[in-house]
Amino acid sequence: MKGLTLAAAAFVLLVLGSALALRVYRGNKEFKVFLSAFAGAVLGYAVAFPLTPPDLGVLPAGWLEPAAPVDFANGLLVLALVFHGFWCFAYFACVSPSMGVMIELRERGERGISAEEALAMHSHEQPMNLIFQRRLPKLVQGGYVREEAGVYRLLPRGGRIAALGAFLKRLINSEVPLAGSRTC
Amino acid sequence: MLKGIILAGLLIAAWALVQGMVFRLRPPHKAFASMVAWYAPYVPAYVLLYLLTPPHLGLLSERFARAGHALGFLNGLALLILLFLTGVLFYYHADRSITVRLLIVLARAPQQRLSLDQLQTVCGVDVLMQDRLESMALNRFLVLRDGCYHLAPKGRLAGLGGTMARRLLRLKAL
């Protein structure tokens, strides 16, 4: 239970730390903020674990794990799983086009949104729509794709991710459309 | 505590195998509902296994089998739930990632090259938005009325969560 308690404390600090850091971060690689916050939380957890008493001064005797390595590893595993969930939720909430539509609909009140209006939210008549505007430059910067005179070419690094992605899609059979409309 | 961790790990591995087979043999119309339905029996299975098996599971040393019964049970149950949610997220990473879609489309293109226009035609916002709107309606986040999408109660709740998250976390939204 000591591991879980410390993991919970580390997670709260991780959320607060990443929220604060994102307010001052001006770059385009937010994942680095999340990973740094996670690294900080793991470090804090690993340092606090051996320095604190087994009962943390508050835990009842029945809630103590006698094997410290199990307690430590369990807390770390839970911290990693909860962080992963938080990271996914943060990206889904802030970046997902689906969430964008739901937030827009909340702001509209009783007024609905047509498919054309939802589409227009991300198009804005620019040469590159907003969904691509966010992702393609990152793929270029990360060395996954190269842009040559307006043509995007896959680099070996991107090819490996594509192969892994295609393998995972085959694994879950997601190339068969679930909603009947998926074309890529 | 280790007993609960081991049981949760084994049960999640079994669920992942079964779910993988379900996806391959009979792709479900609603992925999340299918995952929940196939996962649900594992919760009572965990409770039964935890109650019916010895604290050392026949393989753990005495040192690792001394934790409190309630603590070990609840910790294992929490792990079973967390691992399931991680499995669900894994599915959505593989299925929905726009970036991975872009890379796969590029990998399958002639000479692995596409212009921006070609990329946007094959995997552009119109294809994606139509897919997402239909998917949200299918999963009852939205309802289609008079040609317009409206928030269903589930979507209202999700939208509230999203609004709060966007206030807390300043990621650059689309």
d(CA B138, CA A180): 11
Residues 40-69 of A with CB under 8 A from B: 62-67
Domain end residue (candidates: B39, B68, B96): B96
Chain B nearest CA to A15, separation (Å): 9
Q: How many residues does chain A have?
A: 184
Q: Are residues B64 and B6 in the same domain?
A: yes
Whether A4 and A78 have beta carbons less than 8 Å apart is answered as yes
Per-run averaged pLDDT (10 residues), chain B, 174 residues:
92 94 85 92 95 86 77 92 93 83 88 85 75 87 89 92 86 58
Q: Are residues B13 and B79 in the same domain?
A: yes
Phi, psi of B149 (to 5 degrees): -90, 135
Nearest to B133 among A111, A118, A129 (CB): A118
**Closest chain A residue by Cα to residue B154:** A102
B51 CB near a chain A CB, below 8 Å? no
Per residue in A151-173, pLDDT (tens digit) is: 899 999 999 999 988 888 888 87
Whether residue A181 is predicted with pLDDT greater than 80 in this model: the reply is no
Domain end residue (candidates: B96, B131, B154): B96
Q: Which residues contact B167 (CB under 8 A, 6 or more apart)?
A: none
d(CA A49, CA A54): 9
d(CA B32, CA B28): 9
Q: Are residues B10 and B76 in the same domain?
A: yes
DSSP-based three-state secondary structure for A154: strand
| Inter-chain CB proximity A88 and B93 less than 8 Å | yes
- What is the ipTM, given to two decimal places? 0.80
DSSP H helices, A25-67, are 30-51
Confidence of residue A184 (pLDDT cuts 50, 70, 90): very low
Asked if residue B58 is part of any domain, the answer here is: yes
Chain B nearest CA to A47, separation (Å): 22
- In this predicted model, which residue has the larger pLDDT, A75 or B99? A75
Among left, alpha and beta (phi > 0; psi -120 to 50; other), residue A57 is: left
Asked if residue B111 is part of any domain, the answer here is: no
Contacts of A136 in chain B (CB under 8 A): 102, 116, 119
**Closest chain A residue by Cα to residue B83:** A81
Asked if residue B109 is part of any domain, the answer here is: no
DSSP-based three-state secondary structure for A145: strand
Q: Are residues B162 and B129 in the same domain?
A: yes
Q: Are residues B9 and B81 in the same domain?
A: yes
Q: Are residues B85 and B47 in the same domain?
A: yes
Whether B125 and A119 have beta carbons less than 8 Å apart is answered as yes
Asked if residue B145 is part of any domain, the answer here is: yes
* Domain extent for B156: 116-168
| Inter-chain CB proximity B71 and A78 less than 8 Å | no
Phi, psi of B28 (to 5 degrees): -75, 155
Q: Are residues B70 and B41 in the same domain?
A: yes
For the record, the structure tokens of B47 come out as: 């409770």
Nearest to B1 among A74, A90, A97 (CB): A74
Q: Which residues contact A123 (CB under 8 A, 6 or more apart)?
A: A129, A130, B125, B126
Q: Are residues B91 and B8 in the same domain?
A: yes
Q: At what angle do helices B153-168 and A68-95 cross, to 10 degrees?
A: 100
Q: Are residues B47 and B89 in the same domain?
A: yes
| Inter-chain CB proximity A81 and B134 less than 8 Å | no
Q: Are residues B75 and B122 in the same domain?
A: no
State the DSSP code for A109.
Answer: T
Apex CA A58: angle with CA A54 and CA A60, to 5°?
A: 75
Nearest to B131 among A67, A145, A182 (CB): A182
Please state the domain count of chain B. Answer: 2
Q: How many other C-beta atoms lie within 10 A of the C-beta of residue A142?
A: 14
Mean pLDDT across the stretch A118-124? 72
Going by C-alpha positions, the residue among A60, A73, A62 that lies closest to residue A4 is A73
Whether residue A178 is predicted with pLDDT greater than 70 in this model: the reply is no
Q: What are the distances in angstroms from CA A110 to CA A79, A121, B31, B146?
A: 40, 18, 29, 13
Interface test with B, best of A23, A178, A183 (most B CBs within 10 A): A178
Range scoring the smallest mean pLDDT among A36-45, A132-141, B132-141: A132-141
Amino acid at B150: H
Q: At what angle do helices A97-108 and B153-168 cross, to 10 degrees?
A: 100
Going by C-alpha positions, the residue among A78, A81, A71 that lies closest to residue B63 is A71
Whether B122 and B105 have beta carbons less than 8 Å apart is answered as yes
B54 CB near a chain A CB, below 8 Å? no
Amino acid at A72: F
A106 CB near a chain B CB, below 8 Å? yes
Q: What is the pLDDT of residue A123?
A: 61
Phi, psi of A148 (to 5 degrees): -130, 105
A163 CB near a chain B CB, below 8 Å? yes
Beta bridge partners of A152: A147, B114
pLDDT > 70 in chain B, percent: 97
Beta bridge partners of A154: A145
What's the whole-number average pLDDT of chain A?
84
In chain B, the N- to C-terminal Cα span, in Å, equals 44
State the DSSP code for B19.
Answer: H
Nearest to B99 among A139, A153, A174 (CB): A139
Q: Are residues B88 and B158 in the same domain?
A: no
For the record, the structure tokens of A87 come out as: 């990271």
Q: What is the pLDDT of residue A179?
A: 33
| Inter-chain CB proximity B116 and A127 less than 8 Å | yes
Asked if residue B101 is part of any domain, the answer here is: no
Q: What is the pLDDT of residue A43?
A: 96
Per residue in A45-71, pLDDT (tens digit) is: 999 999 999 888 888 888 888 888 999
Asked if residue B103 is part of any domain, the answer here is: no
State the DSSP code for B147.
Answer: T
Q: Are residues B13 and B50 in the same domain?
A: yes
